[in-house]
Structure 1
């Protein structure tokens, strides 16, 4: 693969998406099955709902991005926002399926594809802009997942970033840094 700006953008996008996925994955590792359904109040989504939504969005947006609108007729977005009562195994299956569609699609894109037109809900945008749009969308939900995880685990929470008061020690430590602790 040549080291062109377009290819660098695709590779950087994959890297960033993987970092956000990793933050949620590390949160899931700290949760019990019941924790996925914890809802602080009636207006908040629980982690299960966020997973359902993200998986549905990823499958819809990234399936056939060059030939079909990103809002597929088979997607039921409203249903994604209802807790389906899925267990951990099913939720993680949906989660992995969604990310798999995204990563496979990004890996198959060429530099020339970035300036091609695609659509989301009939709104025209370039593939490059579609990537940026989702790069803004998914981290928002990952942040919600992490925040809910912290609320649930409280004092038992294992930090996913540099712990308070330890920035200098982290910055001065030799070796490879954990990309998930960049925040």
Structure 2
């Protein structure tokens, strides 16, 4: 299990980077904007956040010993915006992320050899981790996209601004790119 620590460390880093990206996007959206869907067929940022948190809580509570789809999870209810304010939404969001990160940080090398279940389907632990990472990143992308639209001209980019890649490369590496 010599790769356990780098694998788990990299996984945690990617989860944390995505959490931070979503939160930087959310900061740029008004309270009303968080609750506004782009149209009748899409979810608001608040609903996406609620779903992500609910999923993380269900999947990562007692991760190694119980099915990832907990009997008390109300997945359909995750798509209803019933938070009273931003603080309540953010507290639930944080609960989901804390559940995930605490569980990941408690894993041992031997745990990677174990099988866990999600909706009754067997998954080796690394697959379950990657499944959760993919699902979460998918929804973080949605949050960022909707936030970008909601913020309009007031948006502050989360990555290298469009048209500034060469400037970034120059600042990062000076003349030329790595390996040249």
Question: By how many angstroms is 1:149 displaced?
Answer: 0.6
Task: Work out the CA distance in 2 between the residues paired with 1:111 and 1:124.
Answer: 19
- TM-score, length-scaled by structure 1: 0.91
Q: What secondary structure, in the 3-state scheme, does the structure 2 residue paired with 1:106 have? A: helix
Give unmatched runs, 5+ long, in structure 1. Answer: 176-183
Does the 8 Å contact 1:48/1:86 carry over to 2? no
Question: By how many angstroms is 1:98 displaced?
Answer: 0.3
Q: How many residues align?
A: 173
Moved more, 54-63 or 32-41: 32-41
Select which of 129, 132, 137 maps to 2:130.
132
1:150 maps to 148
Task: Work out the CA distance in 2 between the residues paired with 1:86 and 1:125.
Answer: 37
Question: By how many angstroms is 1:95 displaced?
Answer: 0.6
Larger Rg: 2
Q: Could you say what the CA RMSD is over the residues aligned between the two structures, in angstroms? A: 1.3
Does the 8 Å contact 1:113/1:127 carry over to 2? yes
- TM-score, length-scaled by structure 2: 0.93
1:57 and 2:63 aligned? no
Give unmatched runs, 5+ long, in structure 2. Answer: 174-180
1:165 maps to 163
Question: By how many angstroms is 1:33 displaced?
Answer: 1.0
